[in-house]
Amino acid sequence: MPVPETVNSLPENAKDGALEVELTTWEYGEVAQILHVGRWDAEVSTVDSLHGFLRSQGYQISGQHEEEYLKGPGFLFAGNPDEYLTLIRYPVTKAISGGGS
């Protein structure tokens, strides 16, 4: 679960043994992300939109994607699957242009 950058230690009650919890920093380079609203099995068109945008801007995907579930089953506001919120994130790099000199 993402936490603000200002958090640098876990609260004491997070160490009660019920769950294994650790605080780590993920290192990112450039990333591209898009918010998908709706069912998880309907993400394809959202992902395709992001891929098309990246190509049009001269970027390429440089690794595996990750998903951050903001609203969905088991969350505080589970509700309707058509209203689930998922951030889909890819590491990206600027595409190398082809062609000669």
- Domain of residue 58 covers 30-94
16 within a domain of the structure (yes/no): no
pTM for the predicted model, two decimal places: 0.71
* Domain count within the chain: 1
81 within a domain of the structure (yes/no): yes
* % of the chain at pLDDT higher than 70: 85
What pLDDT is attached to residue 75?
58
Q: Which of 27, 55, 53, 40 is nearest to 87 (CA)?
A: 40
Q: Over the stretch 57-69, which tens digit does the pLDDT of each residue have? A: 999 999 999 999 8
11 within a domain of the structure (yes/no): no
Q: Over the stretch 17-52, which tens digit does the pLDDT of each residue have? A: 667 778 887 778 899 999 999 999 999 999 999 999
Q: List for the chain the helix, strand, coil content (%; round to 5).
A: 25, 25, 50
17 within a domain of the structure (yes/no): no
60 within a domain of the structure (yes/no): yes
Q: Indicate the pLDDT class of residue 9, thresholds 50, 70 and 90.
A: confident
59 within a domain of the structure (yes/no): yes
82 within a domain of the structure (yes/no): yes
Token pair listed for 65: 């994607």
